[in-house]
Structure 1
Amino acid sequence: MTTLLDYCSLVRSKNAGPFTLTFDFMCHDQAAYDALVATGFLNPTLFATLYDADPGQILVVNHPLALAVKVSLPRPTVQGDLRDTDCYAGQQYAPLMDMDVTPA
């Protein structure tokens, strides 16, 4: 099984303001970046399914010079809301870590 850690040296999630959740996937090297992007794994449908979001509101941006991919989407709840279980959004990447990343 291939996971994100086979491609990335850093995977993180965080707030991008009180209404937006963002994920950073920073690859080991050019070959890992090219391979990860080629899988098509990091796509709006995946994040819509995992985070109950509208795929049309999910932005996936490839940053080839930084060997990184950034994904942003609306937070499920506003930061600091009584139903907010992760105020800093630092744990939101966890469901992605054990998933099998297979080529498209």
Structure 2
Amino acid sequence: MALVKLPEVASVIRSKNSGPYELTLDVIFKNKEAFEAACRAQVINKSTIAKLYGISEDEVIGIIEFAPAHAIKATIVRPFPSGALGETDVYGAQQHAPLLNLEFELT
């Protein structure tokens, strides 16, 4: 069992708007084995996302595992609506960084 960082096993880690009040975080794994290992370990769950983003678990709207694409999607409430005063990332495209240091056991 090896401890790996998410970028080692994912080909895509990104964030984007999911409407003006939500952000979606996408992780697309390089292969079926890495995807299944991440799902078994529940690497991306409400508790982990809440801790990484400094929000409550109630602000994690959902986590979806999508096997055909080897992907996991998490949707959270945006801290500021897109384009609002004080908001710094209108497109939500720079919010994936906390996921880059996420580690888990690849079994």
Say yes or no: TM over 0.5.
Answer: yes
Let me know the Cα RMSD of the aligned residues.
1.5
> Is 1:70 the counterpart of 2:86 in the alignment?
no
The CA distance in 2 between the partners of 1:38 and 1:80, in whole Å, is: 37
- Aligned ranges for residues 1-104 of structure 1 at < 5 Å? 1-58=3-60, 59-102=62-105
The CA distance in 1 between the partners of 2:105 and 2:88, in whole Å, is: 30
SS at match of 2:90: coil
- Which fold has the larger relative contact order, with Cα–Cα distance below 8 Å and residues 6 or more apart in sequence? 2
Greater shift, 71-80 or 42-51, is seen at: 42-51
The CA distance in 1 between the partners of 2:105 and 2:94, in whole Å, is: 23
Using the size of structure 2 for normalisation, the TM-score is: 0.86
Kindly indicate which of the two structures has a greater share of residues assigned to strand: 2
The CA distance in 2 between the partners of 1:24 and 1:97, in whole Å, is: 12
User: Gaps spanning 5+ residues in structure 2: where?
Assistant: none
Contact persistence 2:45–2:63 (CA under 8 A): yes
Using the size of structure 1 for normalisation, the TM-score is: 0.88
